[in-house]
Amino acid sequence: MTQAQEEAGSGNYLLEARGITKHFGAVTALRGVDFHVGRGEVLGVVGDNGAGKSTLMKILSGLFAPSRGALIFDGRPIRFQSPHDARDLGIEMVYQDLALAENINIAENIFLGREPVRRLLGGWLPLVDHKAGRDHARQHLDNLHIHVKSVEQRVGELSGGQRQAVAIARATAFDAKLVIMDEPTAALAIKEVGKVLDLIKGLKDRGIGVVLISHRMDDIFYVCDRVMALFHGANFAEAALCDTSRSEVIGWIMGTKEGQGELAHDRVH
């Protein structure tokens, strides 16, 4: 491929990663992984425990630097020093352990670290504008069709599903282009799962790219456009949802491909 073709190709993706390798001391968590996601695309990422899913997402969201490999955002090579840099580009991650502060309220969680500021004394005295924060939070939750009693409710009082919704609201409050979610439904009651999945569909409808890590085939087959599988830190398989099946994807997680008796396990030392 010529460089021009390569550039044209990469420009089609919202975020692309090429040849990502990550070592943690003697452990190699990722081995030359290629990845891409488009605007308004929901990509499912599957793989067994330890396959490298969370590590890859932490690299895509700027928390870890790759040992080797390149990231390309909107056709341009990028290098993150911190999650702050990724956020500035509109890449947001909802972590597996959520990272919401329990003892403050919903509005404060949504704006944590990015509070609206009112300047007094000709701009010399910046003050957090709590009222503007509450109003923005309420409006944003309404836009996402997230219903809470009050944005002044403490997060510690919320159910798992409501917390997940607040975490998603937080991730999308500032012009997000890509939202990465690590097992967002794993800890939820069944009746809350559908709401979170519908929120993901709403993000897609607004042109936001979504990466969804999930073990639940129901999640993957309800919201995703495409699914990719990692196995032992490497790309294993991927397909458009319409070209695969639950049983095939479950096979990928275990390291098998249809029509291929051999287990990938047998080839990994």
Ligand X SMILES: Nc1ncnc2c1ncn2[C@@H]1O[C@H](COP(=O)(O)OP(=O)(O)O)[C@@H](O)[C@H]1O
Residue 29 as a binder of ligand X (CB under 6 A): the answer is yes
The burial of 29, by beta-carbon neighbours within 10 Å (0-12 exposed, 13-18 middle, 19 or more buried), is given as buried
Q: What are the residues whose beta carbons fall under 8 Å from the beta carbon of 205, sequence distance 6 or more?
A: 40
Task: Considering the complex, state which of residue 182 and residue 192 has its C-beta at the smaller distance from Mg ion.
Answer: 182
* Of 54, 164, 185, 214, the one binding ligand X by CB under 6 A: 54
Least distance (Å) between residue 183 CB and Mg ion? 7
Residue 47 contact, options Mg ion, ligand X, none, Cβ 5-8 Å cut-off depending on partner type: ligand X
Q: What are the residues whose beta carbons fall under 8 Å from the beta carbon of 66, sequence distance 6 or more?
A: 17, 20, 21, 22, 30, 59
Task: Considering the complex, state which of residue 54 and residue 214 has its C-beta at the smaller distance from Mg ion.
Answer: 54
* Of 10, 54, 214, 244, the one binding Mg ion by CB under 5 A: 54
Q: What CA–CA distance (Å, rounded) separates 210 from 177?
A: 9
Least distance (Å) between residue 252 CB and ligand X? 13
Concatenate the DSSP letters of all residues of 50-71 into one string.
Answer: TSSHHHHHHHHTTSS--SEEEE
* Of 11, 19, 50, 126, the one binding ligand X by CB under 6 A: 50
Residue 255's SS3 state is: coil
Count of positions (residues) in the chain: 269
Question: Under rule CB under 6 A, which residues in 60-119 are in contact with ligand X?
Answer: none
Task: Considering the complex, state which of residue 86 and residue 151 has its C-beta at the smaller distance from ligand X.
Answer: 86
Least distance (Å) between residue 178 CB and ligand X? 18
Give the distance, in angstroms, between the CA of residue 44 and the centroid of all CA atoms in the same chain.
Answer: 10
What's the CA angle centered on 37, arms 35 and 41, to 5 degrees? 150
Least distance (Å) between residue 92 CB and ligand X? 18
Where on the chain is the footprint of ligand X (CB under 6 A)? Answer: 24, 27, 29, 47, 49-55
